[in-house]
Amino acid sequence: MMPYGPNIVVADRWAIIAYLRSLQRSQHATLADVPEDHRAELDKPASPPPAAAPAK
């Protein structure tokens, strides 16, 4: 696989790094870390995935 470094501008590289770091930190998050107004969204059941289109 070829490197993607030359294709990604420096600002976007740092944005990707920040995103990955936030994902790493969220691995140990608890429900208490979620803002009160967003907790209701976590309690809702997940919606089923859309039906796949039939193969042709």
Query: Per-residue pLDDT tens for 13-46?
Result: 999 999 999 999 889 888 888 888 888 888 788 8
Per-residue pLDDT band for 1 (boundaries 50, 70, 90) equals low
Q: What is the reported pLDDT for 22?
A: 92
Q: Give the CA dihedral 28, 34, 38, 41, nearest 10 degrees.
A: 30
- Higher local confidence (pLDDT), 5 or 45: 45
pLDDT value, residue 40: 85
